[in-house]
């Protein structure tokens, strides 16, 4: 295995050196997307991770949601913060939150793997603002993408309820300096995401110079979802076809996001093949949910919901309300 990694590293280095201009352009474009969409939407949630996954929050969620989480998903109530973060912040924040919650509540590796694999995804800010309003000129389409993703995440939690029961080893938290400030920790995670995006962007563009336009576009979709989503949005397809393709693409996540999720789970025994297969399953489920929603009657309720979530203030307010649950419960207990 060590030799395989070494050979792979040599091949990638040779590829990047053989096409330096394409590699540099791919890295630059990936970093530009990170700067414009990923960093602004993800940074606030990363700074709040200690509050959302700390001991106090875990205890409150366990008391409030422990029974429901156990009956529905076979997880402790302490897993609820990771579910919330995964739905509103995406990957790798959801995987980081899952690991911190598991380490703090005594969940084993099997439960961590189920939680992290199911909650992979993208933030509503990226789906609604980046893809919906930015690429498709329709915030409502972005809202539908987020609905399909949320339904897929919950479905994955149900499907994986009995998986990996034999993985009973303890989970250790990510190595961090105990005195490290949350803002600094969040910034370091964001810089890591930028590095992943730049690496996969440069590799995709360098490989694309050796392939035709069709294979090159397919490779870009599989490696980097933001770039792939832009390509799908420009295709001469019907609106329904593009939304189904985009929903499946976002369900898969791309190799860049998969690498980020596995990076947050390093040392916990999660393997590439099984995680990759689960992302393929999530892509199929997400595309199916989108196809189903497109066949449903277009009711005014969905239009209203799309209009509300297209408003950044409304979206931020709903996210803050979901995350503030532990604090509100603690305050209510202190005055009772």
In a domain, 335, yes or no: no
In a domain, 2, yes or no: no
| Domain with 200 in it | 19-162+178-324
In a domain, 330, yes or no: no
Residue 196's nearest CA partner among 217, 226, 233 is 226
Residue 306: what pLDDT? Answer: 53
Residue 335: what pLDDT? Answer: 37
In a domain, 121, yes or no: yes
Tokens representing 193?
């995401």
In a domain, 306, yes or no: yes
Return the beta strands (E) in 127-266 as ranges.
none
Residue 328: what pLDDT? Answer: 44
Cis peptide before 303 (omega within 30 of 0): no
The CA-based dihedral angle spanning residues 94, 95, 98, 103, taken in that order and rounded to the nearest 10 degrees: -150
Q: Find out whether 55 and 104 touch, Cβ atoms under 8 Å.
A: yes
Residue 299: what pLDDT? Answer: 52
Q: Count how many domains the chain has.
A: 1
Rg (CA), the chain: 20
In a domain, 65, yes or no: yes
In a domain, 51, yes or no: yes
pLDDT in tens, the chain (336 residues): 567 778 888 888 898 999 999 999 989 988 888 888 778 877 877 787 777 666 777 677 777 777 888 888 988 888 888 888 888 888 888 888 888 888 877 889 999 999 999 999 998 878 988 888 888 988 889 999 999 999 999 999 999 998 898 898 988 877 655 455 778 878 888 888 888 888 888 988 898 888 877 787 888 888 888 888 888 988 888 989 999 999 999 999 999 889 989 988 888 888 889 999 999 999 999 999 999 999 876 554 455 455 545 554 445 444 554 444 444 444 444 434
In the DSSP assignment, the letter for residue 215 is: H
Q: What is the pTM of this model?
A: 0.80
In a domain, 209, yes or no: yes
Residue 245: what pLDDT? Answer: 94
How far, in Å, CA of 88 to CA of 85, rounded?
A: 5
């Amino acid at each position: 295995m060590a030799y395989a990694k070494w050979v792979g590293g040599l091949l990638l280095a040779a590829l990047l050196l053989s096409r330096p201009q394409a590699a540099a352009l791919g890295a630059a474009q990936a970093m530009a997307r990170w700067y414009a969409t990923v960093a602004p939407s993800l940074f606030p949630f990363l700074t709040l991770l200690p509050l959302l996954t700390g001991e106090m929050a875990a205890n409150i969620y366990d008391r409030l949601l422990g029974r429901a989480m156990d009956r529905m998903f076979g997880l402790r109530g302490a897993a609820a913060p990771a579910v919330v973060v995964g739905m509103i912040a995406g990957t790798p924040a959801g995987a980081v939150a899952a690991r911190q919650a598991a380490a703090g509540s005594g969940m084993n590796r099997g439960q961590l793997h189920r939680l992290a694999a199911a909650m992979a995804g993208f933030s509503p800010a990226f789906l609604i603002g980046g893809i919906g309003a930015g690429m498709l000129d329709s915030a409502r389409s972005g809202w539908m993408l987020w609905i399909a993703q949320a339904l897929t995440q919950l479905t994955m939690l149900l499907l994986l309820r009995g998986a990996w029961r034999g993985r009973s080893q303890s989970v250790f938290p990510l190595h961090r300096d105990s005195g490290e400030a949350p803002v600094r920790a969040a910034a370091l995670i964001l810089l890591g995401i930028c590095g992943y995006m730049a690496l996969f962007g440069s590799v995709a563009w360098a490989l694309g110079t050796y392939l035709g336009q069709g294979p090159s576009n397919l490779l870009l979709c599989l490696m980097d979802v933001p770039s792939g989503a832009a390509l799908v949005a420009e295709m001469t397809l019907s609106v329904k076809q593009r939304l189904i393709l985009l929903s499946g693409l976002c369900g898969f996540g791309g190799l860049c996001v998969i690498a980020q999720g596995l990076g947050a789970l390093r040392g916990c025994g999660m393997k590439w093949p099984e995680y990759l297969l689960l992302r393929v399953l999530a892509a199929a489920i997400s595309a199916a949910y989108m196809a189903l929603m497109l066949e449903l009657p277009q009711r005014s309720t969905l239009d209203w919901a799309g209009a509300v979530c297209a408003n950044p203030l409304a979206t931020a307010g709903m996210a803050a309300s979901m995350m503030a649950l532990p604090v509100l419960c603690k305050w209510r207990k202190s005055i009772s």
